Amino acid sequence: MDRFMAGDLEVRCEVIYRRVKNPRIELRFDSLRLILPADFTGDPMEVLSSRSDWIQRKIHEFHEMLERASDMELEYRRDKELRSLVSGFLDHYSDVLGVEYGRVRFRRMRSRWGSCSSRGNLSFNTLLSHLPDRMVEYVVLHELAHLREMNHSPRFWGILESEMPDCTERRRMLRYYWARLYMEGLVD
Q: What is the pLDDT of residue 1?
A: 60
Assigned fold of 79-183: Zincin-like (3.30.2010)
Please provide the size of the chain in residues.
188
Backbone phi and psi for residue 33, each to the nearest 5 degrees, phi listed first:
-125, 125
Question: What is the spatial distance between Cα 130 and Cα 134, in angstroms, rounded to a whole number?
Answer: 12
Angle formed at CA 169 by CA 160 and CA 172, multiple of 5 degrees: 105
Query: What are 4-33's pLDDT values in tens digits?
Result: 777 777 888 889 999 999 999 988 777 888
The ranges assigned to domains in the chain are: 2-69, 79-183
Residue 184 DSSP SS3: coil
Q: What is the pTM of this model?
A: 0.82
Which regions of the chain are under pLDDT 50?
A: none
pLDDT of residue 78: 97
Secondary structure (3-state) at 122: strand
pLDDT digits (tens, 9 = 90+) for 85-109: 999 999 999 999 999 999 999 999 9
